[in-house]
Structure 1
Amino acid sequence: MSTPPFSPAEARAARLRLGMTPAQVVAAMSQLGVDRPPEAVHAWEAGAVPPSEPELLALADALWCPVPVLMAVRPGTLREHRLARGFTTERLALRIGMDPYAYARAEAEHHWPGTDRQTLLLADALGLRSEDLLDLLDRGTELVGVLRQAVEGRWKAHVPALADLAQADERRVAGALRTLHREYTRFDERYMGHLVARNDDARLQEIAADRAAWLRALPARFRTLIGHGP
Protein backbone atom coordinates (compact mmCIF):
# COMPACT_ATOMS: atom_id res chain seq x y z
CA MET A 1 0.00 0.00 0.00
CA SER A 2 1.27 3.49 -0.84
CA THR A 3 1.97 5.95 1.95
CA PRO A 4 -0.73 8.49 2.81
CA PRO A 5 -0.46 12.21 2.03
CA PHE A 6 1.73 13.93 4.59
CA SER A 7 3.13 17.42 5.24
CA PRO A 8 6.50 17.45 7.06
CA ALA A 9 6.13 21.18 7.70
CA GLU A 10 2.72 20.81 9.38
CA ALA A 11 4.00 17.96 11.54
CA ARG A 12 6.96 19.99 12.74
CA ALA A 13 4.78 23.06 13.35
CA ALA A 14 2.29 21.01 15.38
CA ARG A 15 5.08 19.56 17.54
CA LEU A 16 6.68 22.94 18.15
CA ARG A 17 3.32 24.46 19.12
CA LEU A 18 3.11 21.91 21.91
CA GLY A 19 6.76 22.34 22.88
CA MET A 20 7.35 18.59 22.53
CA THR A 21 10.62 16.89 21.70
CA PRO A 22 10.76 13.98 19.23
CA ALA A 23 11.34 11.68 22.20
CA GLN A 24 8.15 12.89 23.85
CA VAL A 25 6.23 12.42 20.61
CA VAL A 26 7.25 8.78 20.20
CA ALA A 27 6.54 8.17 23.89
CA ALA A 28 2.98 9.35 23.34
CA MET A 29 2.72 7.23 20.18
CA SER A 30 3.90 4.14 22.05
CA GLN A 31 0.89 4.44 24.36
CA LEU A 32 -1.23 3.88 21.24
CA GLY A 33 0.68 0.75 20.35
CA VAL A 34 2.97 2.34 17.75
CA ASP A 35 6.59 2.08 18.91
CA ARG A 36 9.12 4.13 16.97
CA PRO A 37 12.49 5.72 17.81
CA PRO A 38 12.85 9.53 18.00
CA GLU A 39 14.82 9.35 14.73
CA ALA A 40 11.57 8.46 12.98
CA VAL A 41 10.08 11.85 13.89
CA HIS A 42 13.19 13.60 12.57
CA ALA A 43 12.89 11.63 9.30
CA TRP A 44 9.20 12.49 8.89
CA GLU A 45 9.74 16.19 9.56
CA ALA A 46 12.71 16.30 7.19
CA GLY A 47 10.64 14.72 4.42
CA ALA A 48 13.12 11.86 4.16
CA VAL A 49 10.39 9.26 4.57
CA PRO A 50 6.63 9.62 5.09
CA PRO A 51 4.79 7.84 7.90
CA SER A 52 2.63 4.81 7.24
CA GLU A 53 -1.11 4.92 7.94
CA PRO A 54 -0.80 3.63 11.53
CA GLU A 55 2.08 6.03 12.15
CA LEU A 56 0.14 8.97 10.73
CA LEU A 57 -2.90 8.29 12.92
CA ALA A 58 -0.79 7.80 16.03
CA LEU A 59 1.27 10.91 15.28
CA ALA A 60 -1.86 13.04 14.89
CA ASP A 61 -3.14 11.76 18.22
CA ALA A 62 0.21 12.37 19.93
CA LEU A 63 0.34 15.93 18.58
CA TRP A 64 -3.32 16.67 19.37
CA CYS A 65 -3.61 17.58 15.72
CA PRO A 66 -6.44 16.73 13.26
CA VAL A 67 -5.30 14.16 10.73
CA PRO A 68 -6.33 16.36 7.74
CA VAL A 69 -3.89 19.05 8.96
CA LEU A 70 -0.99 16.60 8.82
CA MET A 71 -2.19 15.32 5.44
CA ALA A 72 -2.30 18.91 4.12
CA VAL A 73 -4.74 17.96 1.36
CA ARG A 74 -8.46 18.28 0.91
CA PRO A 75 -9.71 14.66 0.99
CA GLY A 76 -10.54 13.59 -2.54
CA THR A 77 -10.55 9.80 -2.37
CA LEU A 78 -12.29 7.24 -0.18
CA ARG A 79 -8.99 6.45 1.52
CA GLU A 80 -8.25 10.10 2.29
CA HIS A 81 -11.73 10.63 3.74
CA ARG A 82 -11.24 7.54 5.92
CA LEU A 83 -7.89 8.79 7.20
CA ALA A 84 -9.29 12.27 7.78
CA ARG A 85 -11.82 10.73 10.17
CA GLY A 86 -9.12 8.73 11.95
CA PHE A 87 -10.22 5.26 10.85
CA THR A 88 -8.05 2.28 10.03
CA THR A 89 -9.42 0.02 7.30
CA GLU A 90 -10.25 -2.63 9.90
CA ARG A 91 -12.17 -0.26 12.20
CA LEU A 92 -14.16 1.29 9.38
CA ALA A 93 -14.96 -2.10 7.84
CA LEU A 94 -16.20 -3.33 11.22
CA ARG A 95 -18.34 -0.24 11.69
CA ILE A 96 -20.13 -0.69 8.36
CA GLY A 97 -20.37 -4.47 8.59
CA MET A 98 -18.01 -5.34 5.76
CA ASP A 99 -15.15 -7.83 5.57
CA PRO A 100 -11.90 -5.83 6.10
CA TYR A 101 -10.24 -7.46 3.09
CA ALA A 102 -13.21 -6.58 0.88
CA TYR A 103 -13.17 -2.99 2.09
CA ALA A 104 -9.42 -2.60 1.58
CA ARG A 105 -9.77 -4.01 -1.92
CA ALA A 106 -12.60 -1.56 -2.66
CA GLU A 107 -10.31 1.33 -1.72
CA ALA A 108 -7.40 0.01 -3.77
CA GLU A 109 -9.45 -0.79 -6.87
CA HIS A 110 -11.82 2.19 -6.59
CA HIS A 111 -14.80 -0.11 -6.99
CA TRP A 112 -17.54 -0.13 -4.36
CA PRO A 113 -19.28 -3.51 -3.87
CA GLY A 114 -21.15 -2.51 -0.71
CA THR A 115 -24.86 -2.93 -0.07
CA ASP A 116 -27.21 0.04 0.29
CA ARG A 117 -27.02 -0.28 4.07
CA GLN A 118 -23.21 -0.40 4.03
CA THR A 119 -23.15 2.65 1.79
CA LEU A 120 -25.37 4.59 4.19
CA LEU A 121 -23.25 3.52 7.17
CA LEU A 122 -20.09 4.51 5.28
CA ALA A 123 -21.47 7.96 4.50
CA ASP A 124 -22.37 8.44 8.18
CA ALA A 125 -18.93 7.28 9.37
CA LEU A 126 -17.15 9.64 6.99
CA GLY A 127 -19.44 12.58 7.71
CA LEU A 128 -20.65 12.78 4.12
CA ARG A 129 -24.09 13.02 2.58
CA SER A 130 -25.06 9.86 0.71
CA GLU A 131 -25.18 11.71 -2.61
CA ASP A 132 -21.72 13.20 -2.00
CA LEU A 133 -20.30 9.77 -1.18
CA LEU A 134 -21.83 8.22 -4.30
CA ASP A 135 -20.44 11.07 -6.40
CA LEU A 136 -17.01 10.51 -4.81
CA LEU A 137 -17.16 6.78 -5.57
CA ASP A 138 -18.35 7.36 -9.14
CA ARG A 139 -15.65 9.94 -9.83
CA GLY A 140 -13.01 7.64 -8.35
CA THR A 141 -14.09 4.80 -10.63
CA GLU A 142 -14.13 7.08 -13.68
CA LEU A 143 -10.73 8.55 -12.78
CA VAL A 144 -9.15 5.09 -12.63
CA GLY A 145 -10.65 4.14 -15.99
CA VAL A 146 -9.39 7.28 -17.74
CA LEU A 147 -5.97 6.95 -16.10
CA ARG A 148 -5.64 3.39 -17.40
CA GLN A 149 -6.54 4.52 -20.92
CA ALA A 150 -4.07 7.39 -20.71
CA VAL A 151 -1.03 5.38 -19.63
CA GLU A 152 -1.79 2.55 -22.04
CA GLY A 153 -2.35 4.78 -25.09
CA ARG A 154 -2.16 8.40 -26.24
CA TRP A 155 -1.98 10.21 -22.92
CA LYS A 156 -2.22 13.78 -24.28
CA ALA A 157 -5.82 13.25 -25.37
CA HIS A 158 -6.88 12.52 -21.79
CA VAL A 159 -5.37 15.59 -20.11
CA PRO A 160 -8.55 17.76 -20.08
CA ALA A 161 -10.77 14.96 -18.76
CA LEU A 162 -8.35 14.04 -15.99
CA ALA A 163 -7.80 17.66 -15.04
CA ASP A 164 -11.56 18.00 -14.61
CA LEU A 165 -11.93 14.75 -12.64
CA ALA A 166 -8.99 15.52 -10.35
CA GLN A 167 -9.78 19.25 -10.21
CA ALA A 168 -6.16 20.02 -11.02
CA ASP A 169 -4.20 22.29 -13.35
CA GLU A 170 -3.84 20.84 -16.87
CA ARG A 171 -0.09 21.50 -16.96
CA ARG A 172 0.41 19.47 -13.79
CA VAL A 173 -1.78 16.69 -15.16
CA ALA A 174 0.14 16.66 -18.44
CA GLY A 175 3.44 16.39 -16.59
CA ALA A 176 2.11 13.57 -14.43
CA LEU A 177 0.77 11.62 -17.41
CA ARG A 178 4.04 12.00 -19.28
CA THR A 179 5.87 10.46 -16.31
CA LEU A 180 3.30 7.69 -15.81
CA HIS A 181 3.22 6.78 -19.48
CA ARG A 182 7.00 6.50 -19.48
CA GLU A 183 6.92 4.28 -16.39
CA TYR A 184 4.22 2.04 -17.88
CA THR A 185 6.10 1.72 -21.15
CA ARG A 186 9.10 0.33 -19.29
CA PHE A 187 7.02 -2.67 -18.20
CA ASP A 188 6.23 -3.48 -21.84
CA GLU A 189 9.88 -3.06 -22.80
CA ARG A 190 11.02 -5.38 -20.00
CA TYR A 191 8.35 -7.95 -20.86
CA MET A 192 9.15 -7.98 -24.57
CA GLY A 193 12.88 -8.06 -23.87
CA HIS A 194 12.55 -11.20 -21.77
CA LEU A 195 10.07 -12.69 -24.23
CA VAL A 196 12.47 -12.26 -27.15
CA ALA A 197 15.30 -13.66 -25.04
CA ARG A 198 13.04 -16.65 -24.29
CA ASN A 199 13.58 -16.41 -20.56
CA ASP A 200 11.62 -18.71 -18.27
CA ASP A 201 7.96 -18.09 -17.45
CA ALA A 202 8.77 -17.21 -13.84
CA ARG A 203 10.57 -14.04 -14.92
CA LEU A 204 7.67 -13.04 -17.19
CA GLN A 205 5.20 -13.65 -14.38
CA GLU A 206 7.30 -11.50 -12.06
CA ILE A 207 7.17 -8.60 -14.52
CA ALA A 208 3.41 -9.05 -14.95
CA ALA A 209 2.97 -8.99 -11.16
CA ASP A 210 5.08 -5.83 -10.90
CA ARG A 211 2.90 -4.15 -13.53
CA ALA A 212 -0.30 -5.22 -11.77
CA ALA A 213 0.97 -3.75 -8.48
CA TRP A 214 1.94 -0.53 -10.26
CA LEU A 215 -1.53 -0.25 -11.78
CA ARG A 216 -3.20 -0.75 -8.40
CA ALA A 217 -1.16 2.13 -7.00
CA LEU A 218 -1.74 4.28 -10.10
CA PRO A 219 -4.39 6.64 -8.63
CA ALA A 220 -2.25 7.42 -5.56
CA ARG A 221 0.84 7.89 -7.72
CA PHE A 222 -1.09 10.25 -10.02
CA ARG A 223 -2.36 12.34 -7.12
CA THR A 224 1.16 12.62 -5.73
CA LEU A 225 2.53 13.81 -9.07
CA ILE A 226 -0.12 16.50 -9.49
CA GLY A 227 0.51 17.78 -5.98
CA HIS A 228 -2.55 16.31 -4.25
CA GLY A 229 -0.49 13.79 -2.29
CA PRO A 230 2.69 13.70 -0.20
Structure 2
Amino acid sequence: MSRPPFSPAEARAARLRVGMTPEQVVASMAQLGMDRPPEAVHAWESGTVAPSETELFALADALWCPVQALMARVPSTLREHRLARQFTAERLAQRIGMDPYAYARAEAEHRWSGTDRQTLLLADALGLRVDDLLDVVDQAAELVTLLHEAVEGRWKTYVAPLADLARADQRAVAQALRTLHREYALFNERYMGHLVARSGDVRLKEIAVDRARWLRDLPERFRLMVTHGA
Protein backbone atom coordinates (compact mmCIF):
# COMPACT_ATOMS: atom_id res chain seq x y z
CA MET A 1 0.00 0.00 0.00
CA SER A 2 1.23 3.49 -0.83
CA ARG A 3 2.07 5.95 1.92
CA PRO A 4 -0.78 8.17 3.12
CA PRO A 5 -1.07 11.85 2.20
CA PHE A 6 1.26 13.82 4.44
CA SER A 7 2.48 17.41 4.72
CA PRO A 8 5.98 17.80 6.22
CA ALA A 9 5.35 21.51 6.77
CA GLU A 10 2.13 20.91 8.68
CA ALA A 11 3.81 18.24 10.81
CA ARG A 12 6.59 20.61 11.80
CA ALA A 13 4.14 23.43 12.46
CA ALA A 14 2.03 21.14 14.65
CA ARG A 15 5.09 20.10 16.66
CA LEU A 16 6.19 23.70 17.16
CA ARG A 17 2.69 24.70 18.27
CA VAL A 18 2.82 22.24 21.18
CA GLY A 19 6.46 23.10 21.91
CA MET A 20 7.84 19.59 21.53
CA THR A 21 11.26 18.44 20.37
CA PRO A 22 11.58 15.44 18.03
CA GLU A 23 12.85 13.46 21.02
CA GLN A 24 9.71 14.31 22.98
CA VAL A 25 7.52 13.39 20.01
CA VAL A 26 8.98 9.89 19.70
CA ALA A 27 8.79 9.45 23.48
CA SER A 28 5.08 10.24 23.31
CA MET A 29 4.65 7.89 20.34
CA ALA A 30 6.44 5.15 22.28
CA GLN A 31 3.81 5.45 25.01
CA LEU A 32 1.26 4.71 22.29
CA GLY A 33 3.16 1.57 21.29
CA MET A 34 5.01 3.07 18.33
CA ASP A 35 8.79 2.99 18.86
CA ARG A 36 10.67 5.21 16.44
CA PRO A 37 13.99 7.10 16.70
CA PRO A 38 14.08 10.93 16.66
CA GLU A 39 15.60 10.66 13.17
CA ALA A 40 12.20 9.47 11.94
CA VAL A 41 10.59 12.78 12.91
CA HIS A 42 13.38 14.69 11.15
CA ALA A 43 12.85 12.55 8.03
CA TRP A 44 9.10 13.13 8.03
CA GLU A 45 9.45 16.88 8.52
CA SER A 46 12.09 17.17 5.81
CA GLY A 47 9.97 15.23 3.34
CA THR A 48 12.61 12.53 2.92
CA VAL A 49 10.03 9.88 3.70
CA ALA A 50 6.36 9.90 4.66
CA PRO A 51 5.03 8.02 7.69
CA SER A 52 3.02 4.86 7.30
CA GLU A 53 -0.66 4.87 8.23
CA THR A 54 -0.03 3.64 11.78
CA GLU A 55 2.89 6.05 12.18
CA LEU A 56 0.65 8.88 10.99
CA PHE A 57 -2.00 8.00 13.58
CA ALA A 58 0.55 7.84 16.41
CA LEU A 59 2.17 11.10 15.28
CA ALA A 60 -1.18 12.90 15.24
CA ASP A 61 -1.95 11.65 18.76
CA ALA A 62 1.51 12.66 19.98
CA LEU A 63 1.07 16.16 18.53
CA TRP A 64 -2.51 16.52 19.77
CA CYS A 65 -3.84 17.29 16.33
CA PRO A 66 -6.30 15.68 13.88
CA VAL A 67 -4.88 13.32 11.26
CA GLN A 68 -6.51 15.50 8.61
CA ALA A 69 -4.31 18.43 9.69
CA LEU A 70 -1.19 16.37 8.93
CA MET A 71 -2.70 15.22 5.64
CA ALA A 72 -3.24 18.91 4.75
CA ARG A 73 -6.21 18.20 2.55
CA VAL A 74 -9.96 17.74 2.65
CA PRO A 75 -10.63 13.98 2.32
CA SER A 76 -11.90 13.14 -1.15
CA THR A 77 -11.50 9.36 -1.36
CA LEU A 78 -12.69 6.44 0.74
CA ARG A 79 -9.16 5.87 1.99
CA GLU A 80 -8.66 9.51 2.96
CA HIS A 81 -11.94 9.56 4.90
CA ARG A 82 -10.82 6.38 6.68
CA LEU A 83 -7.45 7.89 7.54
CA ALA A 84 -9.07 11.07 8.84
CA ARG A 85 -11.05 8.90 11.28
CA GLN A 86 -7.89 7.00 12.30
CA PHE A 87 -9.07 3.58 11.13
CA THR A 88 -6.77 0.98 9.67
CA ALA A 89 -8.37 -0.81 6.73
CA GLU A 90 -8.55 -4.04 8.76
CA ARG A 91 -10.19 -2.39 11.75
CA LEU A 92 -12.76 -0.58 9.63
CA ALA A 93 -13.57 -3.76 7.70
CA GLN A 94 -14.10 -5.56 11.00
CA ARG A 95 -16.35 -2.78 12.27
CA ILE A 96 -18.68 -2.96 9.28
CA GLY A 97 -18.60 -6.75 9.06
CA MET A 98 -16.77 -6.97 5.74
CA ASP A 99 -13.97 -9.22 4.58
CA PRO A 100 -10.72 -7.18 4.88
CA TYR A 101 -9.59 -8.21 1.40
CA ALA A 102 -12.92 -7.10 -0.11
CA TYR A 103 -12.73 -3.78 1.67
CA ALA A 104 -9.10 -3.20 0.60
CA ARG A 105 -10.10 -3.94 -2.98
CA ALA A 106 -12.95 -1.43 -2.76
CA GLU A 107 -10.50 1.27 -1.70
CA ALA A 108 -7.95 0.37 -4.35
CA GLU A 109 -10.47 0.12 -7.19
CA HIS A 110 -12.70 2.98 -6.01
CA ARG A 111 -15.75 0.77 -6.32
CA TRP A 112 -18.13 0.00 -3.48
CA SER A 113 -19.89 -3.37 -3.45
CA GLY A 114 -20.91 -3.62 0.20
CA THR A 115 -24.36 -4.67 1.34
CA ASP A 116 -26.92 -2.08 2.44
CA ARG A 117 -26.06 -2.79 6.08
CA GLN A 118 -22.31 -2.49 5.43
CA THR A 119 -22.90 0.77 3.58
CA LEU A 120 -24.89 2.20 6.50
CA LEU A 121 -22.25 1.10 8.99
CA LEU A 122 -19.45 2.52 6.82
CA ALA A 123 -21.17 5.88 6.48
CA ASP A 124 -21.68 6.01 10.25
CA ALA A 125 -18.04 5.08 10.96
CA LEU A 126 -16.77 7.78 8.61
CA GLY A 127 -19.22 10.43 9.82
CA LEU A 128 -20.89 10.76 6.42
CA ARG A 129 -24.42 10.56 5.10
CA VAL A 130 -24.95 7.56 2.84
CA ASP A 131 -25.51 9.80 -0.20
CA ASP A 132 -22.27 11.66 0.54
CA LEU A 133 -20.38 8.38 0.95
CA LEU A 134 -21.59 7.13 -2.42
CA ASP A 135 -20.69 10.48 -4.01
CA VAL A 136 -17.14 10.12 -2.63
CA VAL A 137 -16.80 6.69 -4.24
CA ASP A 138 -18.34 7.80 -7.55
CA GLN A 139 -16.13 10.89 -7.83
CA ALA A 140 -12.99 8.89 -7.03
CA ALA A 141 -13.92 6.34 -9.70
CA GLU A 142 -14.49 9.14 -12.22
CA LEU A 143 -11.11 10.65 -11.36
CA VAL A 144 -9.37 7.31 -11.96
CA THR A 145 -11.12 6.86 -15.31
CA LEU A 146 -10.19 10.35 -16.51
CA LEU A 147 -6.58 9.99 -15.36
CA HIS A 148 -6.17 6.67 -17.18
CA GLU A 149 -7.61 8.19 -20.35
CA ALA A 150 -5.37 11.24 -19.99
CA VAL A 151 -2.09 9.35 -19.63
CA GLU A 152 -3.02 6.93 -22.39
CA GLY A 153 -4.22 9.55 -24.88
CA ARG A 154 -4.18 13.29 -25.47
CA TRP A 155 -3.73 14.64 -21.97
CA LYS A 156 -4.50 18.29 -22.84
CA THR A 157 -8.14 17.37 -23.45
CA TYR A 158 -8.49 16.33 -19.81
CA VAL A 159 -7.00 19.37 -18.10
CA ALA A 160 -10.28 21.23 -17.61
CA PRO A 161 -12.45 18.29 -16.47
CA LEU A 162 -9.78 17.03 -14.08
CA ALA A 163 -9.23 20.52 -12.68
CA ASP A 164 -12.96 20.80 -12.00
CA LEU A 165 -13.17 17.35 -10.44
CA ALA A 166 -10.07 17.81 -8.28
CA ARG A 167 -10.86 21.49 -7.57
CA ALA A 168 -7.34 22.37 -8.60
CA ASP A 169 -5.66 25.08 -10.64
CA GLN A 170 -5.63 24.25 -14.36
CA ARG A 171 -1.96 25.16 -14.72
CA ALA A 172 -1.02 22.76 -11.93
CA VAL A 173 -3.17 20.05 -13.50
CA ALA A 174 -1.61 20.61 -16.92
CA GLN A 175 1.89 20.35 -15.50
CA ALA A 176 1.00 17.16 -13.61
CA LEU A 177 -0.62 15.53 -16.63
CA ARG A 178 2.32 16.41 -18.87
CA THR A 179 4.70 14.67 -16.45
CA LEU A 180 2.43 11.66 -15.89
CA HIS A 181 1.79 11.23 -19.60
CA ARG A 182 5.54 11.17 -20.19
CA GLU A 183 6.09 8.62 -17.41
CA TYR A 184 3.40 6.32 -18.80
CA ALA A 185 4.85 6.60 -22.30
CA LEU A 186 8.20 5.42 -20.93
CA PHE A 187 6.56 2.22 -19.66
CA ASN A 188 5.25 1.51 -23.14
CA GLU A 189 8.63 2.29 -24.72
CA ARG A 190 10.39 -0.06 -22.29
CA TYR A 191 7.84 -2.79 -22.94
CA MET A 192 8.08 -2.50 -26.71
CA GLY A 193 11.87 -2.29 -26.55
CA HIS A 194 12.13 -5.53 -24.63
CA LEU A 195 9.46 -7.12 -26.83
CA VAL A 196 11.44 -6.30 -29.99
CA ALA A 197 14.66 -7.45 -28.33
CA ARG A 198 12.91 -10.67 -27.29
CA SER A 199 14.07 -10.25 -23.70
CA GLY A 200 11.80 -13.01 -22.48
CA ASP A 201 8.54 -13.29 -20.57
CA VAL A 202 10.11 -12.63 -17.17
CA ARG A 203 11.35 -9.14 -18.06
CA LEU A 204 8.10 -8.28 -19.84
CA LYS A 205 6.11 -9.37 -16.78
CA GLU A 206 8.30 -7.23 -14.53
CA ILE A 207 7.56 -4.16 -16.64
CA ALA A 208 3.84 -5.01 -16.68
CA VAL A 209 3.84 -5.31 -12.88
CA ASP A 210 5.66 -1.98 -12.54
CA ARG A 211 3.13 -0.32 -14.82
CA ALA A 212 0.20 -1.82 -12.91
CA ARG A 213 1.67 -0.52 -9.64
CA TRP A 214 2.20 2.92 -11.21
CA LEU A 215 -1.42 3.01 -12.40
CA ARG A 216 -2.65 1.95 -8.95
CA ASP A 217 -0.80 4.85 -7.34
CA LEU A 218 -1.74 7.30 -10.12
CA PRO A 219 -4.60 9.09 -8.29
CA GLU A 220 -2.46 9.74 -5.23
CA ARG A 221 0.49 10.91 -7.35
CA PHE A 222 -1.81 13.26 -9.24
CA ARG A 223 -3.27 14.78 -6.06
CA LEU A 224 0.17 15.31 -4.56
CA MET A 225 1.42 16.97 -7.72
CA VAL A 226 -1.49 19.39 -8.05
CA THR A 227 -1.56 20.33 -4.35
CA HIS A 228 2.13 20.34 -3.39
CA GLY A 229 3.92 20.36 -6.74
CA ALA A 230 5.49 16.99 -5.85
TM-score normalised by structure 1 residue count: 0.95
Which position in structure 2 is the counterpart of 1:139? 139
Checking the alignment, whether the CA contact within 8 Å between 1:146 and 1:158 is kept in structure 2 is yes
Which position in structure 2 is the counterpart of 1:213? 213
- 2:3 maps to a residue whose letter is T
Which position in structure 2 is the counterpart of 1:168? 168
- CA deviation after TM superposition for structure 1 residue 187, in Å: 0.6
Which position in structure 2 is the counterpart of 1:58? 58
Q: Structure 2 CA distance, aligned partners of 1:103 and 1:111?
A: 10
Provide the identity percentage: 76
- CA deviation after TM superposition for structure 1 residue 32, in Å: 2.4
CA RMSD of aligned residues (A): 1.4
Checking the alignment, whether the CA contact within 8 Å between 1:26 and 1:41 is kept in structure 2 is yes
Which position in structure 1 is the counterpart of 2:177? 177
Which position in structure 1 is the counterpart of 2:35? 35
Checking the alignment, whether the CA contact within 8 Å between 1:9 and 1:45 is kept in structure 2 is yes
Which position in structure 1 is the counterpart of 2:92? 92
Q: Structure 2 CA distance, aligned partners of 1:63 and 1:229?
A: 26
Which position in structure 2 is the counterpart of 1:120? 120
Checking the alignment, whether the CA contact within 8 Å between 1:73 and 1:228 is kept in structure 2 is no
- 2:4 maps to a residue whose letter is P
Q: Deviations over 1:93-122 (max 9, x none)?
A: 111111112111211111112111111111
Checking the alignment, whether the CA contact within 8 Å between 2:123 and 2:130 is kept in structure 1 is yes
* Aligned positions of 1:71-110 closer than 5 A: 71-110=71-110
Q: Structure 2 CA distance, aligned partners of 1:7 and 1:222?
A: 15
Q: Deviations over 1:115-162 (max 9, x none)?
A: 111111111111111111111111111111111111111111111111
Which position in structure 2 is the counterpart of 1:196? 196
Higher relative contact order (CA 8 A, sep 6+): 1
Q: Structure 1 CA distance, aligned partners of 2:34 and 2:80?
A: 21
Matched, 1:23 2:23: yes
Q: Structure 2 CA distance, aligned partners of 1:218 and 1:85?
A: 23
- 2:214 maps to a residue whose letter is W
Long gaps (5+) in structure 1: none
Q: Structure 2 CA distance, aligned partners of 1:105 and 1:154?
A: 29
Q: Deviations over 1:160-212 (max 9, x none)?
A: 11112111111111111111110100110000000110111100010001111
- CA deviation after TM superposition for structure 1 residue 11, in Å: 1.6
Long gaps (5+) in structure 2: none
Q: Structure 2 CA distance, aligned partners of 1:70 and 1:7?
A: 6
Which position in structure 2 is the counterpart of 1:150? 150
Q: Structure 1 CA distance, aligned partners of 2:12 and 2:90?
A: 29
Secondary structure of 1:226's counterpart equals helix
Q: Deviations over 1:27-61 (max 9, x none)?
A: 22122222110110111112222111111111001
- 1:78 maps to a residue whose letter is L
Q: Structure 1 CA distance, aligned partners of 2:103 and 2:55?
A: 20
Q: Structure 2 CA distance, aligned partners of 1:122 and 1:212?
A: 28
Secondary structure of 2:227's counterpart equals coil
**Aligned positions, number:** 230
